[in-house]
Amino acid sequence: MIRTGPAIEEDIADGSTVVDPFVPEQLNPNSINVRLGRTLRVYTEPVLDSYKPNPTREIQIPEEGLVLYPNRLYLGHTVEKVGSTRHVPLLEGRSSVGRLGLHVHITAPIGDLGFFGQWTLHLNPVQPLRVYAGMQIAQVMFEVAHGDVDLYDGKYQGAVGPRPSEMWRHAPHAGQVAS
């Protein structure tokens, strides 16, 4: 079951859900809009390696906006810190943003129960597109969790700004690859 806008507001009031800062005007009938933060990260190597750390460089979105180009992955972040101990957060791009050809996340729309932080966005435009810090870029819905809860306490907890992949931390060592 997806929480309604009024239910999300109640959950924020009782502390079981966090959207910080909370802007009531961003509340929708069954979601809340989140905004694009000022900082982006781009990978600097032409080939990424899932078993090694990949270097990135930081880009600040200026007041006049920044043009994103196709065939490039930009890691962005939400202004808002979002999370819940009771409801599973689901992040999706806003339809208005999708109509401009911007993919807001490539995968991983589901947040873990107990994660609290800024969400990393996987921005990928289909054609050149100017974006602005503070634009409402995505929406978060909250789904009722059922069953025992084991709260998240992983490597991305408390994230601030865009976070590159840390998949390499769990890569098998030489000779440990399963057949």
Give the domains, in start order, of the chain with CATH numbers. Answer: 5-46+54-147 (2.70.40.10)
Query: Which region among 16-30, 72-86, 90-104, 165-179 has the lowest average model confidence (pLDDT)?
Result: 165-179
pLDDT in the model for residue 174 = 54
Residue keyed to tokens 């806008």: 5
pLDDT at 177: 55
What are the tokens at 71?
Answer: 């065939």
What are the residues whose beta carbons fall under 8 Å from the beta carbon of 36, sequence distance 6 or more?
A: 61, 76, 77, 78, 79, 121, 131, 132, 133, 134, 135, 137
